[in-house]
Every structure is written in structure tokens, then in C-alpha cells.
Structure 1
Amino acid sequence: MPRSGGVPLRVVSYNIHGQRDDTAALAAVVREAAPDVVIVQEGPRRLRWRAKSAALAASFGLVVAAGGLPSLGNLLLTSLRVRVTGTRCRRFPLTPGRHLRGAAYADCVVAGSARFTVAGSHLSTDPAERPGQAELFGRDLAAAPHPVIAGADLNEEPGGPAWTAVARGLTDAAVAADRGERFTYSCADPRRRLDALFVDPRITVVDYDVVDTPLTRRASDHFPVLVDLLLPTAG
């Protein structure tokens, strides 16, 4: 049932390191969190990416909403509680000699009346090309048809130009929960907050956590970001 003031939604944003670590631990981490939405960075993007994306989603107890190869490894997964009404993907312009990057978007509805757009991206490690990608991603978020929930590995810390471009007009969930000091990278030596979840100001941040456990330290090189939200309802 909706809580007073909104509809609850649990979201995880997670760079899964191309599933190169302990995949059983990865599945256990996400299943334990019991999210409605998972925003994946470094998901399947090459040979048999559809089957691999479906298998990853199934290991989490979720289904694929959008992403994969068309968004270059950004993947949006949802529980059956969430109905997806539209999807789209973007590839950022290629800088010669660098890796392609992209973003995935899905328009969703939960509890019959709470609509939102979920988005995910993984920006470049190159400080010269990252701000341009961030501007394109930020423009897409500003043009979204519903209140936005955006998860990303920005490869940059708060205050940088790319971070600022993506965050424009949105609420940083970590700051809203007074947990901006929680580092997300690396699991071996956590010193940087590279991973963020931003939400439309109409969405309430109820809780925020960077999940640091023995399982998460085995599952990837990034910690997952776990956020509880309250979504506004239509009317």
C-alpha cells in the first residue's frame, strides 16, 4: 500500500564490473536488497548480450526493462511490481581511441498511478570527453516525461564539471540523506564517491546507503548504492 505522501520504491544503482568477480555474491547482494529497480553499469554488451542480460536479471529475481548493447552495457532491471511503458537508448559520440559510452532510459508506472523515468549511464574515464557526455545525459534527464530517477557511475567526484551537469535541477540522494561522505569506489580501498543516484525534487529520499559488506566486497569493484524513495502520485 502507498505510504502517506507517496508510493515507496527501492532502487539500486550498481557498477557490476562486467560480472568479472564473484557472480554468486553479486546475485546474493541484489536479492538481499530486494529492489524494485536496479540500474546496472558494465552489464552485458557483446556476444549473446540479450541472453546474458536475461540471465543476470533472473539471478537477481528481476526482468530486463531496457539497455544492453544499444546503450553499451547500461541495463535497467525491474521487479514485476513495475510496469514499463516505454524505453530508449543513447550512444554518446565516439572520441577516437576511446571506448564507446551510452545511456538507457525507461518510462515506468508503479501502484497504478506513480509514474517515473529511470535512467542509467556510465561516463568516460577521460576528463576531456566526460563533460560532453554528461551534458547530453543531463539534457535527456531534463526532457524526461516523468519525474526522473538517474543512477550513474560518473567516473568523477562531486563538484566536477560532469557531476555538476548531470545533477543540475536534481537532488543528490546521498546529500539529501546527509551521507555524502560515503565512498563507493573501490571496494578494495574506498576513497572516492564516483557512483550517484539523482532524483527529481518531487521525489522524496527516505533512506540512502552504500552497501559495504563481505559479500559486496567480493561481488564487484564498486559498492552498490541503495536508496528508498517515495514517488508522487498522479492527480
Structure 2
Amino acid sequence: MTETGRVAGAPGGVPLRVVSYNVHSQRDDQAALAAVVRAAAPDVVIVQEAPRRFRWRQKCASLAESFGLVVAAGGLPSLGNLLLTNLRVRVADTRCQRYPLTPGRHMRGAAYAECRVGGTRFLLAGSHLSTDPAERPAQAAAFKRELAAADLPVVAAADLNEGPDGPAWATVGAGLTDAAVAADRADRLTYSCADPRRRIDAVFVDPRITVVDYDVVDTPQARRASDHFPVVVDLLLPAAG
């Protein structure tokens, strides 16, 4: 991967670098967190466990600034899902979603932003599903309905709290490309930093989008920054016709 957030030599498509990152409610080394994201030089970051409580707007803006990005959508309205972009990406419309609440459980949701790079439009989406396997299928179905209804190419990321063999993963990924599989990197584990055993963080893209490269950043700095490793994906969006 290049250091510029662009794919070198990208004929026939529009390059986009995506980071998906569960930031563990910023409970770890925040300086390391910012450094890891800045080093990746992303165009967009899809965040799970972003600020969602007291002064959440200011806290989300501060997190974005630490990454060198701006807030596109999310925070409290999407229950901790946050979409961040650089100034190369224009945001036309946003919305948030909350999944039905199971009594006694944490609420979950998703964030969506209709974006444009040059003349190319796409839907950016992020979610974080429950740790309870009984809740995840309905949440996955709700997320999938929004993705399936989009008339734009979809770039979606989520902490699914289950691996590729799980039913929620299958629901969200149906008809989409698993970026790790496309790049032959499905063996790269994302959780936990202390004892990596599972791939529970996924990036799914529309089949019209080309996966150029995929990486899971496992460095000493990343292990201090969160309990999840960040996923970095280089994409080629279809050029506007």
C-alpha cells in the first residue's frame, strides 16, 4: 500500500482507501490510536465504539481531528458507529439507524453516508452487531435491508462479533465481496490484539468495486491503541459513466 491513501497506477477506476476500526471506546492509548490511523492515510474511516454519550458531538469531532479527518455521520444517533472522511470525499446525505432493543441489552445501530469522489458516487456504511448470538441475526437483517435498498455501489464495514462461518456474517455479506477473501488475506485475524484468534471485523463491497489490497495492521503501536486491529482496504470504485 502507498502512503498517500491512493492506489498508484489505477486506470479505469477511482481509488479509495478504507479503514474499519473498533476503537474500544478510546479506552486505550489514544496517541497510538491516532498515529495508527494517520499512518494508514485513509480516505474514509468506519469506526465502531465511537463516542455516544455526554458531549458526543465534541468528542467525535476531536477523534476525527486526531485522525486528520472530518465527521460525516454517526455518533449517538447510530449508537457509536461513526463515519469519517478526508476532504477528497464529498458527503451528500447521511442517515442513522437503531436496531430494535432487546430488554437488558446494549442498543446497536448503523450509520450511512452517500458520498462522492469526483464524479463517482457510493454508499458508505458501518455497523457493530451484538455480542449475543441470539440478537445478531435480526440486527444483521436490518443492516442488510438498508444495504440492499441502496442504488449506489456499497462500501460497508462492521464488527460482526462472529466469524465468516456465522449466520449474521452470511446475511450481511450475501451478494457482496468480502474484501479479505478477494485479496486472499482471509487468514488475517482482527481480534483480539492481546490474543489474536478471530476475524470478526469485515469489509464488504459491491461486486462492481475492485479490491486492490487488504491488510490488518498488527504492530506494537496498534496493539496499544485498541483491542481490535484496524483493517485497511484499497479499492477501485467504478468510474462515472
Deviation at 1:52, TM superposition (A): 0.2
Say which SS state the counterpart of residue 54 (structure 1) adopts. helix
Note if 1:181 corresponds to 2:187.
Answer: yes
Deviation at 1:113, TM superposition (A): 1.0
TM-score, normalised by the number of residues in structure 2 = 0.96
- Report the counterpart of residue 233 of structure 1 in structure 2: 239
- Report the counterpart of residue 176 of structure 2 in structure 1: 170
The equivalent position to 1:97 in structure 2, one of 104, 129, 138, is 104
- Report the counterpart of residue 28 of structure 1 in structure 2: 35
> Following superposition of structure 1 onto structure 2, how do residues 21-60 of structure 1 map, counting pairs within 5 Å?
21-60=28-67
Report percent identity of matched pairs. 79
Deviation at 1:82, TM superposition (A): 0.2
Amino acid at match of 1:39: I
Note if 1:71 corresponds to 2:78.
Answer: yes
- Report the counterpart of residue 148 of structure 1 in structure 2: 154
Amino acid at match of 1:25: A
Matches of 2:47 and 2:211, distance apart in 1: 20
Matches of 1:127 and 1:113, distance apart in 2: 41
Say which SS state the counterpart of residue 144 (structure 2) adopts. helix
Amino acid at match of 2:161: N
Deviation at 1:3, TM superposition (A): 2.3
The equivalent position to 1:126 in structure 2, one of 117, 124, 132, is 132
Deviation at 1:5, TM superposition (A): 1.7
- RMSD of Structure 2 on Structure 1 (CA): 0.9
Stretches of structure 1 that go unaligned for 5 or more consecutive residues are: none
Stretches of structure 2 that go unaligned for 5 or more consecutive residues are: 1-5
- Report the counterpart of residue 12 of structure 1 in structure 2: 19
Deviation at 1:159, TM superposition (A): 1.7
Task: List structure 1 runs of 4+ shifted beyond 3 angstroms.
Answer: none
| Of 160-169 and 1-10, the range deviating more from structure 2 | 1-10
- Report the counterpart of residue 61 of structure 1 in structure 2: 68
The equivalent position to 2:217 in structure 1, one of 196, 211, 221, is 211
- Report the counterpart of residue 3 of structure 2 in structure 1: none
1:114–1:231 contact (8 Å) kept in structure 2: yes
Matches of 2:67 and 2:167, distance apart in 1: 34
Deviation at 1:62, TM superposition (A): 0.1
- Report the counterpart of residue 199 of structure 2 in structure 1: 193
Q: Deviations over 1:63-92 (max 9, x none)?
A: 000000000000000000000000000000
Aligned length: 234
- Report the counterpart of residue 113 of structure 1 in structure 2: 119
Q: Deviations over 1:180-230 (max 9, x none)?
A: 011000000000000000000000000000000011000000000000000
| Of 45-54 and 136-145, the range deviating more from structure 2 | 136-145
- Report the counterpart of residue 89 of structure 2 in structure 1: 82
Say which SS state the counterpart of residue 207 (structure 1) adopts. strand
Deviation at 1:36, TM superposition (A): 0.2
Matches of 2:191 and 2:151, distance apart in 1: 32
1:115–1:233 contact (8 Å) kept in structure 2: no
Matches of 1:86 and 1:146, distance apart in 2: 12
